[in-house]
């Protein structure tokens, strides 16, 4: 599998779990192939399933505001989900569905090789930080598999809860600074060489 387009093609014909049966469109994800920041949500909802694009419904509009508040443009960010097909009635994705979809997400992470991954909600948090609660780990960047991971609440959870809303707004403001400080990892298929530090020295 060589490119993000090829991953998207594979996702569009994937029948490795039962979510494929009811999809209108699979939702592979979108954004620049060399994005410094990747955001990973849970799974497509009604609007995403209809359009084949991630975060285009109400949670997506809030996500756009949050991205703008971080001084970024949505077009700079690679946005995807843990599962690429809509769970019926927006139920939580099941462990088997997440496991079946993991190869697609893993390949997207490998290809984009972002400096920082912002996880949106508990399912994408669990991909990097298992057995934790989001309330405990949110807003604290850490290195996982040599990459900066920044767990945040899901925008949909924060949309109608004023307390969570303030927390997610504050967490978002830190993300561009974090990404600036992080150093991109060597591509996965590079020959082993000098190891880079997680954070740049901040020097000239
Ligand atoms: N919620 C998600 O987690 N992902 C989407 O793409 C839309 C809503």
Mean pLDDT by 10 residues, the chain (204 residues): 89 98 98 97 98 97 96 96 97 98 98 97 97 96 95 94 94 91 80 38 32
Q: Is 42 within the bounds of a domain? A: yes
The pLDDT assigned to 189 comes to 65
pTM score of the predicted model: 0.91
Instruction: Please state the three-class secondary structure of 109-126 as a single string.
Output: HHHHCCCEEEEECHHHHH
* Structural domains in the chain (count): 1
Nearest to residue 88, comparing CAs of 46, 120, 40, 28?
A: 46
The token pair that represents 115 in the structure block: 């400096």
The pLDDT assigned to 203 comes to 33
Q: Is 204 within the bounds of a domain? A: no
Q: Is 193 within the bounds of a domain? A: no
The pLDDT assigned to 112 comes to 97
Q: How far is CA 24 from its chain centroid?
A: 22
Per the CB < 8 A criterion, the answer to whether 27 and 60 are in contact is: no
**Which residue's CA is minimally distant from atom 7 of ligand 1?**
55
| Strand ranges (E), the chain | 37-41, 77-81, 116-120, 142-144, 147-152
| Residue 54 beta carbon below 6 angstroms from any ligand 1 atom | yes
For tokens 């925008």, the residue is 155
Q: What is the CATH number of the domain that holds 41?
A: 3.40.470.10
Instruction: Name the residue of 29, 45, 121 whose CB sits within 8 Å of the most ligand 1 atoms, as the mutation to test its pocket.
Output: 45
Domain of 116 in residue numbering reads as 4-183
Q: Is 198 within the bounds of a domain? A: no
The pLDDT assigned to 185 comes to 87
Ligand 1 center to 84 CA (angstroms) = 10
The token pair that represents 59 in the structure block: 């949670």
Q: Is 191 within the bounds of a domain? A: no
130 φ/ψ angles, rounded to the nearest 5 degrees: -75, 160
């Amino acid at each position: 599998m060589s490119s993000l387009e090829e991953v998207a093609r594979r996702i569009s014909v994937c029948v490795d779990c039962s979510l494929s049966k009811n999809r209108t469109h699979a939702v592979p994800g979108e954004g620049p192939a060399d994005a410094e920041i990747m955001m990973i949500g849970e799974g497509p909802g009604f609007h995403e399933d209809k359009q084949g694009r991630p975060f285009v419904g109400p949670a997506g509009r809030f996500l756009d505001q949050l991205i703008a508040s971080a001084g970024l443009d949505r077009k700079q960010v690679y946005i995807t989900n843990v599962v690429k097909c809509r769970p019926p009635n927006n139920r939580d994705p099941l462990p088997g569905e997440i496991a079946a979809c993991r190869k697609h997400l893993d390949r997207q992470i490998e290809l984009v090789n972002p400096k920082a991954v912002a996880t949106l909600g508990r399912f994408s948090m669990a991909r990097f930080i298992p057995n934790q609660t989001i309330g405990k780990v949110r807003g604290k960047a850490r290195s996982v598999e040599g990459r900066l991971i920044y767990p945040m609440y899901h925008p949909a959870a924060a949309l109608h809860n004023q307390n969570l809303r303030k927390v997610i707004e504050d967490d978002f403001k830190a993300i561009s600074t974090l990404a600036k400080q992080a150093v991109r990892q060597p591509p996965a298929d590079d020959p082993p060489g000098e190891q880079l530090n997680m954070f740049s020295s901040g020097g000239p």
